[in-house]
Chains A and B, each alone.
Chain A
Amino acid sequence: MAETSAAETDGYRIDREPFYLPAGDELKLFQAACDARLPVMLKGPTGCGKTRFVEYMAYRLARPLITVSCHEDLFASDLIGRYLLKGDETVWVDGPLTRAVRLGAICYLDEIVEARKDTTVVIHPLTDHRRYLHIERKGEMLRAHPDFLMVISYNPGYQSVLKDLKQSTRQRFVSLEFGYPDPEKETRIVANEGGVDLQVAARLVSLAGKIRRIRDQGLMEGASTRLLIYAAKLVHHQTPQREACRTAISLPLTDDRRLQETLNDLIDDYFAGDGTEIKTA
């Protein structure tokens, strides 16, 4: 197999250990999948640590990480690469997927359901026992580097039946399920990432727990760990706690005024300042 030069992988390497707090045995499972060269699907709601986990694993395995965010207009060529005109010549430029396949990197396709159906098909031969990439334009069959690993993320909460993953795609991956970390861990994550003390973090997490209970009342999803971290960061930067929560949690979650009022009431339970005097009638 071709040795990859250090220069090529520069910029894809993660040099510093990202902070990641395991929720269960996902590290072991991922490691096992990786050893067995099986592609991995990370399932879970937004902002619960999927991306962070991949970064952390890339660091632990000392592999470059190439991330592609998928969207409706993502074409196969955007992943694979294409010819460009240089002066009067045409030059081939690898797309991110091809690069990962060559380098032996972890290729992370974020929100795979958003990609066009015909695009997802190009990953099929890469994600079964064949492990090669067919580059049609060049007529090349590129064998994957032994270290190459495909990881995709998928949020089952977005309920469109039209955008469900095809079974033939799903069944090429082993899946790890992600949820919001349990309160004790989530508290440590929020404190650590957001730069607040454990007490504030614990209140934020408890607040999120309450909000997640009313997901059904019109919220698409509950408050994510990410939003909690945002709120904590605002607090860290001298924003009053209540304002921070409103800005980072209640406004982003919904546009519905009534729901916002409920969220704000919940926020007030934890973070309201001193009560103002009330005039008796």
Chain B
Amino acid sequence: MELKSKRRDPLGELDIFDPDTGSMVRRGLGANRANASPEALSVLADETIWALGQEVSFGQAVAQGILSIIQQSPTCLQTYRTGVRTAGAKGPTLGRLMAIHLVPVLTADHTRIRHLFCKAFEVMEKAGAYTLTKPLEALDRILHGGDHRSAEIYLSLLCTAFSREMPYNRRQQLAALLPKAAFQYAPAKRPWQLSQLERVMRVDDRLALALMTGMDKGLDLLSALALSRFVSQGLERCEPDRQRAEKFFALESRSGRSVFDELQVAASFCQVQPQLNRYLQARTGRKLTVRLVSALSMRGGDTPFDSGGTFSDRKHIYLPNEVERFETKTDNVRVYKCLARFEAGLHEFGTFRFDLERALELCRENQQCFLLPDPAQSGIQPSVAVSDLERFFNLFPEPLLAEDLFLIFEHGRIRHLLEQSYPGLVSTCLPMFQQEARMLLSKGLNRQALIPIYARIACGLSPEDSERELSGESRLVRKTAELFDTAMQRRVPTAETSGELVAASYAVVNTQLDPCRRAAGIRSYQPLQTPFLRRIRPDLHQISGLRIERLARSIKMHLADRGIHIYASVLRDYLESRRGELGTRDIEKILRDPKNYTNKARTARQPICRDRVDVALQAVAFGTDTESELPAAQHSNCPAFWYPEWDCRLGDYLSDHARVLECAVEGHASKFYESTLIRYAGLVQQIRSVFELLKPQGLKWYRRWIEGDEFDYHQLLDFALDRRAGRTPSERLYIKRLKALRDVAVLLLVDLSRSTANAVAGSDTSVLNVEKEAIVLFSEALQVVGDRYAIAGFSGAGRLGVEYFQIKDFSDPLDDDVRCRINAMAPRRNTRMGAAIRHAASRLSAETCRVKLLIMLGDGFPNDLNYKKTYAVEDTRRAIAELRAQGVHVHAITVNMNPANASHLDELFGDIHHNLITDVTDLPDRLWRIYGALTR
């Protein structure tokens, strides 16, 4: 009885003190409550109550903190308690910070880290409590990732940084930048990157700031040794001249850049991206660009390729973030190039056009093939998300082995075809793959029995080379290679040929691998490791084109119902090139080529009749546009203008169909205009001098004229001399002055659709922002040359709500109002191009200049409610044609669009009347040049 009453009920006390926190603690304890010692519970209650007494949030933080370490040793709890008490004595804010951040430190259970943490906390507290928040948050994250090494270095960096004397501003800056840096650096490199940062910090905090800037600009690519060398060189410069060293570290000085270039051997994705994209466009003529592997894993789901790897989907070739395989940067860049060049071969030579039906037909024709079940017999409709290739692999007992065999033969086939079309490519790139293959070979073969076959077939390694490392299996390699070589001699090997080879070799390889696998004690199949981890990923390719796949299957089915049997892959190809629209005419074209028929059709010998095709196509439901027209209520006060629209289905205009509202633009005062001029100071200078030359001088001089206002003295002299010599003198003795005029009015019409809010790749600015910068430079150029110009934006939603924003009218001077309106341009909604063009035309028609020009700046195709695809394109083309008929020149500039769509732009604007600028950051430098060329 006695005892019992003495026994405390700490949680009860807490409940009485603050019921909210009490119940929070109970919830937090949950099932652990039984395991928590009474001592621990008292500490929990006492400390929480004490902290709650100072401030609620402090108390709660303490409660949370103790809850998360309640399982740990009593000493640990004691340390926590002392730490929090000491900090809390100086105020609840400090106490709370300690209560929160001490937890991960204690959890890490690392003496040195604990020690450094206390020291750093003290130093930073002295420097000003504001320096604690952000840096400690970053510490939590590092510790959470289990990176103790970095945490240690980071803490000592914080100690060094905040024990230095420096002005308030800079300290604040460091408090923001240090944690950002620590978190940004790649975990693999972070320890030595941070320690170099600390090394510099010990010398001078300004230099450390500069180094962080440099890291953002590319120093992070350096290897440990290289970075340390770079820092040494920078510090040497600091002695005589600190500012020079700052420029050096920030990669702002030429010497900084050149030392960096020398030291840098890693090639990064960003550096090669534009180059590779341009190459791929030229090489394949398709919508194919490079992308980071990590872009894929970020979208969640499987991430088996975190460590790098190369593969493709429909539109992208995925490449590793960084390549540091070789000693020189040139070679590392070359790895990227080789990977992209080989991978492009898959797209060029139709790997993903693999047609299951065709492959199975081939296999059946070939007697030696592994007996495959016919998937059609199963009667199961396969999901559209499963590609023909995967379905093919699944027909084998061990699909992974089939997949690897396919990889081998397909890479071999591509190599073979590349050798024929691009001998240079193969002779530059193949040695690299061979070298990698040799390296893999020499690593031992227990687990990777397929490597020698890959080396031989896919990398074209000579028999001596690939067999040197093995004894028993050399027969297998030789036999498979023979099989492959014979197949390649057939006309043009296709992806289905590779499939056939898989079926032909599967059984033999499988039996040969078995004992080898058993010897190594491996039960499950170990996928093949290829040089640079190149894979074929039909799954990714498939999911990036489900719409086409669905259509193709549905058309194929409907045609088959009517006795017409053609390969699905043929339909897929057509659909893809027609952007998903397929007509009777296309099908007829397909039917004309006997190669497109499946074997079923060949045996059936059905006559084809057009009606049946028509019916089949009608049966395929094409999605129709069901969006409704939105009323544009918010624009009730704007002046409205009605325009006709061209309906290509009718072949006629719909009169008064689109309503353009001239919306007032609320100006936005900011430094955007000025700062753009400053940012591009060099360019502005250049623009001025170029346009100064274009500017008509009122009168233009023509020398050597036959009649004129003045004598040309040089010519007079010649004349006299010629006469004396008895030669026939020239009669071009005059200078004539002619009035020269640039009688030009230009309207710049900017598409403000939603997509212009998209971020520019590799930066945090938007497409529209870059466009606006270009507009600033454009205005400057026109100001110099003195042409009349206007700027307008457009967007809107629905045919009744086309918005037209007058940024600068022809008669407006370029004043602050206009500048503020340029600032205010912002992304809106859709792109009903035709109506906007017609309105711009009415604006231009009021001008009396001899030459009128409409420049359209946009980032895509016309698109609005009930204004899509062909309909939208045709109306826009009409509107442009109307303008051209009125003698207005129309020129379009499209930014940020995949170059592969360029041909569609040709359709829209006429091939010489538009420019495509894939990288929008080129626009500021291109817009004025294009204008210059247009009016030269």
A interface, CB within 8 angstroms of B: 73, 75, 77, 82-87, 156-157, 159-164, 206, 210-211, 213-214, 216-217, 242, 258-259, 261-262, 265-275, 277-281
Contacts and interface: CB of A to CB of B under 8 A. Distances in A.
B935 A162 contact: yes
Given A217-B918, A268-B425, A269-B425, A280 B439 contact: yes
B168 interface: no
Nearest to A211: B282
A216 B916 contact: yes
Contacts of B702: 73
B706 A75 contact: yes
A265 to B, nearest CB: 5
A196 B419 CA distance: 21
Given A217-B281, A269-B283, 14 more contacts: A159-B934, A160-B934, A161-B853, A161-B891, A162-B851, A162-B936, A258-B275, A258-B278, A262-B278, A268-B425, A270-B423, A273-B424, A277-B431, A279-B328
A279 B935 CA distance: 52
B427 interface: yes
A278 B912 contact: no
Nearest to A206: B421
B918 to A, nearest CB: 7
Contact of B424 (A211, A216, A268): A268
B432 A278 contact: yes
Contact of A265 (B337, B423, B853, B891): B337
B274 interface: yes
B728 A86 contact: yes
- Among all A-B residue pairs, the 4 with the closest Cβ atoms: A272-B424, A269-B425, A275-B431, A269-B422
Nearest to A73: B702
B199 interface: no
B429 A275 contact: yes
19 contacts: A83-B731, A159-B913, A161-B851, A161-B934, A210-B285, A213-B282, A216-B899, A258-B278, A269-B341, A269-B424, A270-B423, A270-B425, A272-B428, A273-B424, A275-B430, A278-B432, A280-B325, A280-B326, A281-B327
Interface residues of B, number: 55
B933 interface: yes
B166 to A, nearest CB: 40
A280 B325 CA distance: 7
A264 to B, nearest CB: 10
Interface string B423-450: 1110111111001000100000000000
A131 B323 CA distance: 70
B427 A272 contact: yes
A278 B435 contact: yes
B425 A82 contact: no
Contacts of B723: 85
Contacts of B432: 275, 278
Contacts of B913: 159
Contact of B282 (A160, A214, A275): A214
B265 interface: yes
A83 B732 CA distance: 11
Interface of B: 265, 274-275, 278-279, 281-283, 285, 324-328, 331, 334, 337, 341, 421-425, 427-432, 435, 439, 702, 706, 723, 726, 728-729, 731, 742, 744, 851, 853, 889, 891, 899, 902, 912-913, 915-916, 918, 933-936
Given A75-B706, A162-B936, A270 B424 contact: yes
A265 B132 CA distance: 52
Given A262-B282, A270-B424, A159 B435 contact: no
Nearest to B905: A216
B912 A162 contact: no
B265 A281 contact: yes
A160 B694 CA distance: 13
A211 B285 CA distance: 10
A42 to B, nearest CB: 16
Contacts of B706: 75, 77, 82
A161 B935 contact: yes
Contacts of B285: 210, 213
Nearest to B929: A218
Contact of B326 (A157, A213, A266, A279): A279
Contacts of B851: 161-162
A265 B272 CA distance: 13
Contacts of B327: 279-281
Contacts of A270: 422-425
B912 A85 contact: no
A274 B431 CA distance: 9
A11 to B, nearest CB: 21
B729 A216 contact: no
B326 A278 contact: yes
Contacts of B729: 85
Contacts of B324: 281
Nearest to B931: A161
Contacts of B283: 210, 266, 269
Contact of B275 (A87, A206, A262, A275): A262
B912 A157 contact: yes
Contacts of A214: 278, 281-282, 899
A77 B328 CA distance: 63
Nearest to B223: A281
Contacts of A272: 424-425, 427-428
